[in-house]
Amino acid sequence: MARVALVTGGTRGIGAAISKALKAAGYKVAATYGGNDAAAEKFKAETGIPVYKWDVASFDACAAGVKQVEAEVGPVDVLVNNAGITRDTAFHKMTLQQWNEVINTNLGSLFNMTRQVIEGMRARKFGRIINISSINGQKGQFGQVNYSAAKAGDIGFTKALALENAKGGITVNVIAPGYINTEMVQAVPKDVLEKNVIPQIPVNRLGEPEEIARAVVFLAADDAGFITGSTLTVNGGQYHV
């Protein structure tokens, strides 16, 4: 029987690539999204992957949403915590709302989502939890104190949860992408990308969403059972831990 994978923020950008790659690898995939109904419906029509709408920053919404997914698709074997937002500004101008929105969505969601599936994984003695962090959670970034703090927190969450569940057949790992060719990065002016961003990347190009997706498929596999608590950097050599 095919394993079930649930991908948050799984209908656009990196998340969409992850959902498609997992389906191609033989998983039964469900994808969540937060607000863009048109993009979600287009994704569903193109891929046949069922989509579910809820706010990952809400514990109650996650509880109800995961319950629906498990009833309709099956118990979750692989959870990919990918959903994330940015509210960039210099810290001395940052509002409490900008701080809370990013922390609750990019870090709080890991608790909200993982708490719904961890007991089932422990009972079945198998699970794969893969958290999507960021290069900026490793090195920091101007104007992203909220984002960098949340993404660094994702790494700490991963390491501790991996220790707690290592004996139970559950692995917990984190991927830290660099600059990936998504809508978010494409919104950066072309001259800024060419003059300021790409020259910092040793491979001299942006990453592609599919390159992150392949890393997820690798970590999700049964054969990856000896890898847990790890941070996989996929950044073209831009930053080394």
Active-site residue list: 147
- The Cα 128–Cα 218 span in angstroms is 11
- The Cα 84–Cα 101 span in angstroms is 10
- The Cα 226–Cα 220 span in angstroms is 12
Beta carbons within 10 angstroms of residue 119's beta carbon: 9
